[in-house]
Chain A
Amino acid sequence: MTFDDLHIASILVSTVRNAPVLIFAAMAGLFAERSGVIDIGLEGKILASAFVSAAVAFATKNPWYGVAAGMLVSVALATLQGYVAITQKGNQLVAGIAVNIAMSGLTFVVAQYFFQQGGRTPDLGSARLFDVVLPGSDAVENIPFLGWFYAHLIGGHSVLVYLAFLLVPVVHWVIYHSRFGLRLRACGENPHAADAAGISVERQRYLAMLIAGVLCSFSGAYLAIVQSGFFLRDMSAGAGYLALTAMVFGNWRPFHTFLGCLMFGFFGAVQIQIEGVELPVIGRIPGSLIQMVPYVVTVVVLAGLMAKSVAPKALGTPFVKSR
């Protein structure tokens, strides 16, 4: 294996490891937006659940308690957004931004209160979620390519990684082949028709927000408990917006959205790989410029593909039952 191959191999592995943060959040956003509620507050929910997951996992020394606690907080925030969007018929964008800004401040304050480490939680150590080693990994380790493929690309990840990848077909089935999904889409496309057919638009949208809250919490938990092993101030670093963009890129369809997440995961992996590497012609790219990559890609994706995209028709408009 040459030096270059090693790079590609580790880029692929880190793509798989980067993607779950985005996949969970994007699937969460998909449920919310397919029901007609814009979810710009993914970022805040990721951050809040990342902090709570890390803090509870540290305190109880059990990562699963952390995951559960993160879920509670994320669901609470999603319900608040739902309350604004559905019951209050307020501005959903503003509610999402409010959640993001409030959580950026509150997670720091609470982290500082409990741990006094500048808005960071202590290292989780044994309370991290450990990687799954597939059976027979040792046996195939020395076989070229296949060994790497089985033990490192497919195997050797946390349970949450597998959950993220399995989630995509499940979401696809729920959205397109279940009664719940049909009603969900009806509420997002034409809530008045759904209402006339006897579906409670409000109930359906609250349910969608509930699911969004649950799914989004995994994103935060993964970030803190699996990827980093601690919580850090503003550690989501725009992941919620990238997930949202992946969803727009995927035209609000689960499999296409998944591809968008992989694309962002891939760029994230490349970004880490080319840091400090002497490239032909351009030379070494400074770290501060490499940090821009995912955000620039997001703008390019939005600029190039948004015009063709088909958002749910009733997205962002509160439903007012006609008399």
Chain B
Amino acid sequence: MNNHDLPRWATAFVMPVLNLLSALLVAALVIYMLGESPAESLGILINSAVVNPEGLSYTLFYASTFIFTGLAVSIAMQAGLFNIGAEGQMYFGGLGLTLAMLAFDSSLPWWLLLPVGMLGAALFGALWSFLPGYLQAKRGSHIVVTTIMFNFISASLMNFVIVKYLVPAGEQNPASRAFADAAAMPLLNQWLPVLGETPLNISFFIAIIALVIYGVVTTRSAWGFKLRATGLNQHAAHYAGIRISKMIITVMLISGALAGLGSVNAIMGSTHYLSLNFVNGAGFVGIAIALMGRQHPLGIFLSSVLFGALIQGGFDLSLEKPNIPIETFIFIQGLIILFCGAMENFYAPAIARLLKRKG
């Protein structure tokens, strides 16, 4: 659809908001059909995720993870690659992080453990995205299908690795041993006691730094220009001298590394051990965030906070309203992907008509 005629404020602000509202409207309809009041549910959600300081802290805690998975999907999308595999890449990143912690948590101080953990997470995340990237670049295997397969494979493989090698002797719980206290991320509640016993930690600031770096690299560097050129028109980019296959592999490695870094907040910030299925859909949330935020750093940030609020508020909502289980938010995620991604130009003709009539 043709939306070049629309002013920037319309495409960058009005349309995303309308799309999001449409998705939420459909969700409200479903909640109504489940016999619950959408308005009351929204009230509970906002109260528990934004108004209450502890709730807000949890919202930002979830957002810190989502920023990384959102960035992972976004940077691949900039190159025209649809990386569905952030889920598996973050899961694998968690393994890299855990191996680093198990090896060093008794010998290094926290300010060294953090970079070591991040390195392990990024490395393993990148490792898990390398093959899909390589196969797309060299063999033309569709990245969407291979990354989905790698999600399934990582689920089984991690199950095997955790149960067989990481569960401490005598334990039943399918999880690694807990890390030493030195491996815990500094929590923000030591400076802001109002946050209570919540896991919001300095990962939030690391995530924001990552957003800034992403914004600068994609819009202000030569490499970022090549990246976007590849995404806009591969043939033209190739003609301009960009090595497409190298670009695909590189961007997939970065994407996997970013997804892997999502595990730093989830593990070092909260549980302090690697557990089965700790990712719990954060990778898929990243897809919705990338589409909703239109791969723009500010958009990714706002979408991540929104999803953090949906998850945090959703937990409380599911306790109060048994008919609205937390899985409802997986459905809402799908709706957001549909309205903000697949039908992103749904309102373009209407807005264009409206503007024409006015002008």
**18 other contacts beyond A98-B335, A98-B338, A295-B149, with CB at 8 A cut-off?**
A40-B144, A90-B343, A93-B144, A95-B338, A97-B144, A97-B287, A98-B337, A101-B333, A105-B331, A112-B327, A119-B327, A237-B152, A291-B156, A295-B153, A295-B156, A299-B131, A299-B141, A307-B139
Q: Is A106 an interface residue (CB 8 A)?
A: yes
CB distance from B156 to the nearest CB of A (A): 4
Chain B residues with CB under 8 Å of chain A are: 1, 30, 34, 82, 84, 131, 135, 139-142, 144-146, 148-150, 152-153, 156-157, 159-160, 163-164, 284, 287-288, 291, 323-325, 327-335, 337-338, 341-346
Contacts of A100 in B (CB 8 A): 334
> In the assembly, what is the distance between CA of A238 and CA of B151, in Å?
10
Contacts of A91 in B (CB 8 A): 341-342
Contacts of A276 in B (CB 8 A): none
Q: How would you classify the secondary structure of chain A's contact residues: helix, strand, loop or mixed?
A: helix
Q: Is A21 an interface residue (CB 8 A)?
A: no
* Nearest B-chain residue to A318, judged by Cβ: B1
Q: Could you tell me which residues of chain A, from 93 to 151, have a CB within 8 Å of some CB in chain B? A: 93-95, 97-106, 108-109, 112-113, 119
Partner of A90, one of B131, B156, B344: B344
Chain A residues with CB under 8 Å of chain B are: 40, 84, 88-95, 97-106, 108-109, 112-113, 119, 237-238, 241, 244-245, 248, 286, 288-289, 291-292, 295-296, 298-299, 302-304, 306-307
* Nearest B-chain residue to A302, judged by Cβ: B141
Partner of B159, one of A94, A288, A306: A288
> In the assembly, what is the distance between CA of A90 and CA of B3, in Å?
12
The 10 closest A-B pairs by CB, nearest first: A102-B334, A105-B330, A105-B331, A98-B338, A95-B342, A101-B334, A302-B141, A98-B337, A94-B341, A288-B160
CB distance from B283 to the nearest CB of A (A): 11
Contacts of B342 in A (CB 8 A): 84, 88, 90-92, 94-95, 98
Tell whether, in the assembled complex, residue B337 and residue A94 are in contact, meaning their CB atoms are under 8 Å apart.
Answer: yes
Tell whether, in the assembled complex, residue B334 and residue A98 are in contact, meaning their CB atoms are under 8 Å apart.
Answer: yes
CB distance from A236 to the nearest CB of B (A): 12
Tell whether, in the assembled complex, residue A97 and residue B140 are in contact, meaning their CB atoms are under 8 Å apart.
Answer: no
Given A90-B344, A93-B144, decide whether A101 and B156 contact each other with a Cβ distance below 8 A. Answer: no
Tell whether, in the assembled complex, residue B144 and residue A303 are in contact, meaning their CB atoms are under 8 Å apart.
Answer: no
Tell whether, in the assembled complex, residue B142 and residue A299 are in contact, meaning their CB atoms are under 8 Å apart.
Answer: no
Contacts of A289 in B (CB 8 A): 156-157, 160
Contacts of B324 in A (CB 8 A): 109
Tell whether, in the assembled complex, residue B82 and residue A93 are in contact, meaning their CB atoms are under 8 Å apart.
Answer: yes
> In the assembly, what is the distance between CA of A299 and CA of B149, in Å?
7
* Nearest A-chain residue to B346, judged by Cβ: A88
Show 16 A/B contacts (Cβ-Cβ < 8 Å), sorted by A: A88-B346, A89-B345, A90-B342, A91-B342, A98-B341, A102-B330, A106-B331, A106-B334, A109-B331, A112-B325, A238-B152, A244-B145, A299-B135, A299-B153, A306-B139, A306-B141
Contacts of A109 in B (CB 8 A): 30, 34, 324-325, 327-328, 331
* Nearest A-chain residue to B84, judged by Cβ: A97
Given A288-B163, A291-B156, decide whether A298 and B149 contact each other with a Cβ distance below 8 A. Answer: yes
